[in-house]
Structure 1
């Protein structure tokens, strides 16, 4: 059954414009608007609502709450400094800001409530970036975010010398390093240790942040095998996207176990030569590199050298446009 976002607000112009924005985002939700109590009561009496955005001047009955999974109040006034509660959102801000807050909160609550998906739906995707570069990282973030609008996605950027890229509010200074510590402890429950270390941007969960690049080099193929087995057996994620910015034992094992490998390339001869050498070495290890699993692609240069960018800049970039057709077919 398709999940539903319902906007129930007496301001019909506001509600319709917000609905149009959500529909343009192409999220995996039906979007409906109600402005009258009678029509809303008739609908909710027959249909469950996944997310309800409720105008502050309106209300729902106690028996209707049973049919609402997540309720958010559209406040007429800005929230005061220090005011808590994810249920109240200032109505008169950008539609993007409202939707970002809702989807981030919704994603976190889905994890806690134990969202289920079929095990055979799990997919591991690797974006290979040898050497790493901001244009390749831009493509990877874009791809992961676009996929997260359709399914539950975990994004894991792995590079030895990470540099600031996105100005995200969630802190992840050393979360990946902390997780590696637990990963190498065979007595740990990998998923239970990983989930509290994840950050979110809208519906996309990500695990990043290194204390030292050598932490990545300490990860063995046995560690990766155990991690991926647990991920594929978990009900938390449908797709995991790895950004591989370093060539290591762990990276080769991830490539070996990936359902799809996207080899990101810049328009220069050196990248092409490196990919040829990568292909040769993988074949020596008997890792298939045929077109059914491997796909080479040229990534555009967004021209962001030397500075971190906002998510909105990423969404307006050539990298985003480049990633869209891949997200549609993966």
Structure 2
């Protein structure tokens, strides 16, 4: 496995421990994290080993450190940085961990010359969510499915809908979204593993990439690009399952669904929606898309009420009738 060595060096042992554990738990497949609270221990390590990135406080810097086997040095600052270290990039230590990781990521892929990060683990199962019948309910179904799967496995949720209500349902807004990850991917496919963690947010035990804010961005991205990005994330082995919640704004929805290992088609019990689902299945047969039809599972879901939205709305779906339907399906395929 070709991962970078990230050394966190600071004399505050409690701070070092918290930061190191966070990165190990969330991004341990990208960096092997080591930590030092004493200069002597750091020097001893460098006699035999190398460090990809040293995130180091001024107190642990030492003479001629630039000549040591350290590829990148980032000053972990608690305030202003003295003139002797002004040639090094610096990051303020008392800020969000994700902001610190963004700085690490920028440094790691400096000049776009970074080797592809390969991780252990098999490729993720890709689960597509698509329905011509009840698109407005797809997202609630997808989130509930993802949250339930995430209880026992690592899950990443990706939303490709136009005007997605995803973040409205979660009542949150993250700093970056899917358009940022696509931008990074277009710059360097090899950097996805280290860029991914700067974009993902979390709902319960499920990671998710916030959907695009502007629908125009979605319209401009080719299906092939989506396929390549999703496949790349899957091949990293960071997740057991990737849920792709998609609508009709993807240029060629069938090409996207073809890469999925399984496709769920939520359908409520209304007769019009049931008829739409049947017309869709007939289309797949007439278009010689039998393979896609075979891996598509139609799930009849209870009516999802949207009249009384509250902060407990998603929790109620998870523990209510919809959750029961999904739980039964997961038990049958287990």
TM range (shorter): 0.5 to 0.7
Aligned to 1:268: 270
Aligned to 2:146: 144
Q: 1:318 to 1:119 in 2, by over 3 A?
A: same
Deviations 1:202-246 (A, max 9, x none): 321011232211222222232123213312320211110111233
- The number of residue pairs the alignment matches comes to 229
User: For the residues of structure 2 that align with 1:107 and 1:168, how far apart are their CA atoms?
Assistant: 24
Instruction: Check conservation: 2:134, 2:273, Cα contact below 8 A.
Output: no
Instruction: Check conservation: 1:118, 1:235, Cα contact below 8 A.
Output: yes
User: For the residues of structure 2 that align with 1:303 and 1:147, how far apart are their CA atoms?
Assistant: 23
User: For the residues of structure 2 that align with 1:186 and 1:284, how far apart are their CA atoms?
Assistant: 40
User: Cα RMSD between the aligned structures?
Assistant: 3.3
User: For the residues of structure 1 that align with 2:261 and 2:296, how far apart are their CA atoms?
Assistant: 9
Aligned to 1:320: 323
Q: Which moved more, 1:200-209 or 1:148-157?
A: 200-209
User: For the residues of structure 2 that align with 1:323 and 1:215, how far apart are their CA atoms?
Assistant: 32
Q: Highest CA radius of gyration, 1 or 2? A: 2
1:113 aligns with 2:28: yes
Give the alignment of 1:17-166 within 5 angstroms: 109-114=24-29, 118-119=121-122, 122-130=124-132, 132-163=134-165, 164-166=167-169
1:212 aligns with 2:214: yes
Aligned to 2:199: 197
Instruction: Check conservation: 1:173, 1:210, Cα contact below 8 A.
Output: no
SS in 2 for 1:323: helix
- In structure 1, runs of 5+ residues without a counterpart are 1-72, 74-83, 88-104
- In structure 2, runs of 5+ residues without a counterpart are 1-13, 31-118
Q: CA deviation at 1:86?
A: 10
TM-score by length of 1: 0.59
Instruction: Check conservation: 2:134, 2:267, Cα contact below 8 A.
Output: no
Q: CA deviation at 1:181?
A: 2.9
Instruction: Check conservation: 2:161, 2:249, Cα contact below 8 A.
Output: no
User: For the residues of structure 2 that align with 1:173 and 1:305, how far apart are their CA atoms?
Assistant: 29
User: For the residues of structure 2 that align with 1:113 and 1:312, how far apart are their CA atoms?
Assistant: 29
User: For the residues of structure 2 that align with 1:118 and 1:327, how far apart are their CA atoms?
Assistant: 22
Aligned to 1:167: 170
Aligned to 1:298: 300
Instruction: Check conservation: 1:132, 1:159, Cα contact below 8 A.
Output: no
User: For the residues of structure 2 that align with 1:108 and 1:127, how far apart are their CA atoms?
Assistant: 31
Instruction: Check conservation: 1:135, 1:300, Cα contact below 8 A.
Output: no
SS in 2 for 1:166: helix
Q: Which moved more, 1:227-236 or 1:237-246?
A: 227-236
Q: Which moved more, 1:289-298 or 1:314-323?
A: 289-298
Q: 1:213 to 1:281 in 2, by over 3 A?
A: farther
Q: CA deviation at 1:108?
A: 6.3
